[in-house]
Homo-oligomer: A and B are copies of this chain.
């Protein structure tokens, strides 16, 4: 049973969920090589659309996502990956989850506090 990478120019979305808390941490994209690398290494590896190359999450920050289980959906074109998140947060802005802003009456409002200082991890260049 193969995944369907045909719908988004070779990419499928991968939802990353903390296996213990159930929190959705981020959404990334994988091409077939990234999916294979994720399976082989046990570390979530995306295809970076901005850098146009494979990107192991945590390769610079150390905030690696260890795979616990992988599910696909009925159309074989999305992944849901349960992880053990090794860092204090997955978001390069310093939050546990990239989804730290909530819609409120026409605006996106920060709905939680940061969990770490990203300048200490990424420097000032992000």
- Residues of A whose CB lies within 8 Å of any CB of B are 1, 7-8, 13, 15, 17, 21-24, 26-27, 39, 49, 69-76, 78, 80, 91-93, 95, 98-103, 107-108, 111
Contact = CB atoms under 8 A, between A and B. Distances in A.
A8 B9 CA distance: 9
Contacts of A39: 103
**How many copies of this chain does one complex carry?**
2
B24 A102 contact: no
19 contacts: A1-B108, A15-B15, A22-B22, A24-B24, A26-B78, A27-B80, A69-B102, A69-B103, A71-B99, A71-B101, A71-B102, A71-B103, A72-B99, A72-B103, A72-B108, A74-B91, A74-B92, A74-B93, A76-B108
